[in-house]
Amino acid sequence: MLLNLPFAALRAFEAVARHGSFSEAADELGVGQSAVSQHVKALEEWLGHDLITRGPKRSLPTRDGARLALSIADGLGQISEVCEDIRDKRRDDKTIVISCHPGFAFIWLFPRLMSFDRAHPDFAISITTDTGLRGVARAEADIAIRYGTGDFPGYGVVPLIRETLSPVCAPSLLNGAKPLRSITDLAFHTQIRDEFAPTTTELPTWEYWARETGHSLPTPARIRSFGQSNMVVQSAIQGDGVAMGRSPLVMDALRDGRLIQPFPQTAASPLNYWLVYPEDQRRARKIALFLDWIITEAKEQAQHHAHVQTASGSD
């Protein structure tokens, strides 16, 4: 007979024991650190034994805790395998499920999927948007497109797009009431900021670009912030202000003239786009097909973007 087990508490405890950290466990589970702490405390009270030795830097399982954590990991692993098997039977083997951030999906991926459809008419692409920073679980998607430093232990990781940074704006701002001719002219314009960013030591901000290119930023007339990258780009296209252009998200608008780069200074971003997938799936035919297609597509687009930048710099 099964006991009335506190499954949420068991899962939280196993994550703490595996990471040696309440905060890292909270990040993995997508909940607050206090919630994880309460789950572990409740489990300890339910069992009548301490399971975690809490330290200033690391929190390690006790002897009993280590036994329990191993048992939970084994049990959850078996459950996960069965669930994946069931889901795989339901999922059409001709469907490729891609997980990525909404801004990238809307601006970069969607406009290019027709090319994949023409090349591989027997396959269908399904997009699930995800703002998470982890790899990809087989039960959730086949491949993830992630934005960050490429640190995804335990997964297959392939570079997709190397990002560059440069301010962008609508062409109308060059000859408006306050013409944008130099970096000091930014003082008369709205600075558009992207609030979405992974948790890393370096972020592709205005301040990062200025530091990398050796410039000082004037205080802008005003600041507008958005939590979605596609809103940042759209606001710049509408002429609302000047945005920090992240190359994958602005390359199409630069090519067709909806946006321009008012200054030639470009910096390499500290973050890039990566293809992430379960390591054991690399040889699956549909995974290989998609990886080959999107890597080729990204290389071609990067060449087009470099040509646009070169042409713009010669004007």
Whole-angstrom distance, CA of residue 214 vs CA of residue 266: 11
- Which CATH topology does 91-159+272-305 take? D-Maltodextrin-Binding Protein; domain 2 (3.40.190)
Average pLDDT, the chain: 84
What are the distances in angstroms from CA 18 to CA 4, 152, 313?
24, 16, 51
Q: Is the predicted pLDDT of residue 210 greater than 90, yes or no?
A: yes
- Residue 33's pLDDT is 85
CA 202 to chain centroid: 14
The answer to which of 58-72, 105-119, 166-180, 274-288 has the lowest mean pLDDT is 274-288
* Sign of the torsion angle spanned by Cα atoms 97, 102, 106, 108: negative
With cut-offs at 50, 70 and 90, classify the pLDDT of residue 308.
Answer: low
Is 9 in contact with 39 (CB distance < 8 Å)? yes
User: Which residues are CB-contacts of 4 (< 8 A; sequence separation ≥ 6)?
Assistant: none
Going from N- to C-terminal start, the domains of the chain cover 7-89, 91-159+272-305, 164-270
β-bridge partners, 98: 127, 143
Give this prediction's pTM.
0.68
Q: Which range is most confident: 63-77, 132-146, 209-223?
A: 209-223
Whole-angstrom distance, CA of residue 143 vs CA of residue 266: 30
With cut-offs at 50, 70 and 90, classify the pLDDT of residue 30.
Answer: confident
Between 78 and 59, name the one with better pLDDT.
59
Pick the CATH number of 164-270 from 3.40.50.12780, 3.40.190.10, 3.40.50.12170, 1.10.1040.10: 3.40.190.10
With cut-offs at 50, 70 and 90, classify the pLDDT of residue 286.
Answer: confident
Check if 7-89 and 164-270 are the same fold.
no
Whole-angstrom distance, CA of residue 93 vs CA of residue 295: 22
Can you read off the two tokens belonging to residue 40?
């572990």
What are the distances in angstroms from CA 237 to CA 113, 184, 243, 254?
23, 21, 9, 10
Whole-angstrom distance, CA of residue 173 vs CA of residue 260: 10
Q: Which CATH number is 7-89 given?
A: 1.10.10.10
Residue type, 173: L
- Residue 89's pLDDT is 52
Is 101 in contact with 148 (CB distance < 8 Å)? no
Between 252 and 57, name the one with better pLDDT.
252
SS3 content of the chain, % helix, strand, coil (to 5): 50, 20, 30
